[in-house]
Amino acid sequence: MKNFCGRTNPTTGALDWVEESEEYDYHQEIARSCYADMLHDHDRNEKYYQGIRAAVARVQARGEKVIVLDIGTGTGLLSMMAVTAGADFCYAVEVFKPMADAARCIVAKNGFADKIKIIDKHSTDITVGPGEDMEVKANVLVTELFDTELIGEGALPSYEHAHQSLVQDGCEAVPHRATVYAQLVESPLLWSWAQLQPVEVDGTRLSPPPAVGHCSGAHSVCDIQLSQVSPRSFTLLGPLCTMFSVDFSKPVSSAPQSYSSHFVAQMNGQAQVVLSWWELDMDPSGAVVCTMAPSWTYPQPKMAPWRDHWMQSVYFLPGESKVTEGQELTLTVYHDDYSLWYRLQSPSQQHPRGDLLLSRPCCVCQAHLVWTRPRFGELNDKLRTESYVSALRSVLKEDSVCLGVSDGSLLPVFAHVLGAKKVFSLENSRMSKQVIEQVLESNSMRGGVELLEIRPEQLTNNDLGGEQISVLMGEPHFSTSLLPWHALFFWYCRTALAGFLRPDATILPCSATLHMVAVEFQDLWRIRAPCGICEGFDVTPMDEMVQKSLDFRESREAEPHPLWEYPCRALSQSATVMTFDFTQCVPQQPIIRRGSLPFIRSGCCHGVALWLEYHLTQDVSVSTGLTGPIDEQGHCEWSRHRKQGVYFLRSGWQSSGDGRAAVSYDITFQPASGDIKMDFSVEQSQTVGGTL
C-alpha cells in the first residue's frame, strides 16, 4: 500500500507529493534515531550492566522478588540485561510504537518474552494493579531518559511520576545518581556563535542592533562534541564546579529549582560561556561512573569513550562581563522540567529570592530565531566576510542595481556600503526581514536596502521600480538546507529571475562545484556499523527489521554531519566531480558524472565526504567543506559553519594506499527534482581516474 506525503523541496522550493510505501516512515524513524549509536557505546552498556547486576543482587539479598521497571527501553537492551542478571520480571516501557514493536521482536528472538512485557505507552499513562499494565509496583527502576542536557527528554517528570505511582518506596535505581558540572570560560570562538559582532567594510563599521546584543539568545542548549574544541580556544576563568545532583532512588521533583556554586576567579577575562556536562553513578557507592566529560579532561585523552547520543553542553551567558583574578563569583544554574540555564553574579548582585524567580531566557530580538548558532559563527567569520566584500567590490559599479537572494544575509548591506546605486533583497520570512531591518536601522541605513518579503517567482517589475538587475548575489544560505547541495536553490531562484536580469548581469557566485574525498573516520563510522553490546552480555541486539531500517537509509543517500566535530583522514585526493554554472539557467537535462578516486593512503575507508565550493568570481572562492589543504597524513580541517554530506559505505574497505584500489562514483543531478542521486563502491583496478 502506498501513501502520498507532501514535502517542500529544499532545492527547487516546490511542494512535492512523494509516494512512499506504508512502512517507509517506520524505517526512516528508526534509521534516523540514535539507537545504533547507543548500542555501540560499550562504556555506557558495560556500566549499565554492572549497575543492573548490583541492584538486582541487593534486592535478592533482601529475599525479595526482583520486579524491574525499565522506562524508555528502546531496543529492550536494559530489560534483557536485568533478566540476564536474575530479575524475576521486567516491565519495559517505550512510547514510540515502531520501536516498541521492534523491541518485542528483539526480546522474543533472544528468548526473553516470558519475562519481559513491552508496554507501548508513556510511563505517566501506565496503570498498576491486577489486570492492569503492571500487576505490581517495581522495586528496581532502570531508565535511559537522558539527553545531552540530562533532563531535556523529560526525565524529571517521568521520575517524579514513577516514584509516586509505579515503584515501591526505597526502590533501587540504575543509574542511582546524576551530577551536573560546569566551568566558566572566555572563548571568542564559542561566543561568536551567540552574538553578532561588528563588521568593518571599506572603513565603515557596521554595528549589531542593540536589541541583539542585549538579548539572552536562544533558550535551547548548544550541544556539541566538546572534545573537538581545542583548550587553546578558551580560557578557564574558574574551577570546575559541581552544580547539583539528583538521587534517582528517592522521590524526584520536576518543580523549578536553582543551585549556586561560589568560587574565586582564577584569571582576568571576559565571562562569556559556561561549559557543562554530567556523569552517572550507576550504584550508591559511586564505584561505577559513566561520565560525559570531554576528552581533554582525561589524563590520557585517547582513552575517553566516544558517543554521539550524549555530548557536552555550551551555555551562553545573557551578556559578557569582565572578571578579575581573585574576584568572588557565584555561578547559578536554573532548571525547569526540561532545560537548564546559567547566570553569573558577584555576591553584591545576589538577592534572597531572585534565583528561584528568574524565568528561562528566551530570544526577544528574533535574530536568534532566524540565525542558528553555526550561522552566527558564519556571519562573524572575518575571513569569509572579507572574501564576499572583495568579490562584491570587484563587480559593483556606480550604476549597479543589486538583488540579494539568501535568508537573513548581510550581503545587501555590504553592497549598499560599497556604493551600489540600488539594492533589493528577497527575504523568505517576515521575521528574517525584520532582523535585517534592525541591522539597517542601527547603522542609519534604513533606506539603503529595500527588503521584499516575496518568493522569486512572485517578483514583478513594480517591486523593482522598473529597474533591471545588474548584480544578482547570494551566499547562498537558506534555512531549509540540510545537505550542502540543497543550497542550489539559489540556481532555481536565478532561473526564475532571468527575466529581470540585464543581458550583462553579474551572478555572484558565478558557479559552484561539488567536491568529494574518501575518508576514514575516527569514530563516526560507529553509527552505521553492526553493534556489539558489552563484555559478558551476549544477545542479538537488533532483529532483521531494525537492521533493515538502518540499511535502508545508508544505501540510498548521503546524510548531513558537521565534520569538524568528527575527525577523519583522507584516503584519497579531494576531487571536483560536478560543476553548476549559475551564469546559465538550470538545464533541462541531467548532469551525470562517473569516475573513480584512487586510494593514496592506507586505512579503512568508511565512506565519502561531499561539499560545495562557491566561486564568487573567477578569483574568489568560499568552501563549505575543507578549509585548507589535506596534510601528508590525510588530516582534514572542515568548516564549522556548514554541515557536509557523508555517504557511508555498507562496510569498511581496508586500503593499502598503493593506488591499486579506488572508490568509484556515479553521480546524477536531476534538474526536475533538484535531487543528486549518488552511488559509491570500491573497485580493484590497475588504472583508475575520472570520466565525464
Cell of 577: 566531480
Q: What are phi and psi of 425, to 5 degrees?
A: -145, 130
Residue with cell string 553555526: 374
153 catalytic? Reply is: yes
Rounded to an integer, what distance in angstroms lies between the CA atom of residue 322 and that of residue 326? 13
Strand 469-473 and strand 401-405: pairing? parallel
**Which run of H or E residues covers position 683?**
strand 675-684
Alpha-carbon span 48 to 53, nearest angstrom: 9
Select from 476, 451, 473, 445 the least CA-distant residue to 206: 445
Q: Which of 29, 153, 557, 637 is catalytic?
A: 153
H/E element, 471: strand 469-473
Q: Rounding to the nearest 10 degrees, give the CA dihedral for residues 244, 245, 251, 252.
A: 50
d(CA 151, CA 338) in angstroms, rounded, equals 5
CA-based diameter of the chain, in Å? Answer: 90
User: Given 94, 144, 565, 613, which residue is catalytic?
Assistant: 144
Contact 8, 80 (CB under 8 A): no
What is the C-alpha to C-alpha distance for residues 372 and 366, in angstroms, rounded to an integer?
11
Query: Distance (Å, rounded) from C-alpha 384 to C-alpha 624?
Result: 11
Q: Is 20 a catalytic residue?
A: no
CA 17/CA 3 separation, integer angstroms = 10
Run of H or E residues at 42: helix 42-61
Please return the burial class of 599, using the count of CB atoms within 10 Å of its CB with bins 0-12, 13-18 and 19+.
buried
Residues 6+ apart with CB under 8 A from 125: none
- How far is the C-alpha of 22 from the C-alpha of 273, rounded, in Å? 46
Strand partners, 291: 279
* Assigned C-alpha cell, 476: 547562498
- Strand, helix or coil for residue 459: coil
Give me the sign of the Cα torsion angle 247, 251, 253, 258: negative
In the block, residue with C-alpha cell 579503512: 604
Give the CA dihedral 78, 80, 84, 90, nearest 10 degrees.
Answer: 90
Cell numbers of 272, please? 562569556
Beta strands in 188-327 (DSSP E): 199-201, 204-206, 222-224, 235-236, 241-247, 257-264, 269-281, 289-291, 312-323
**Active site residues per annotation:** 144, 153
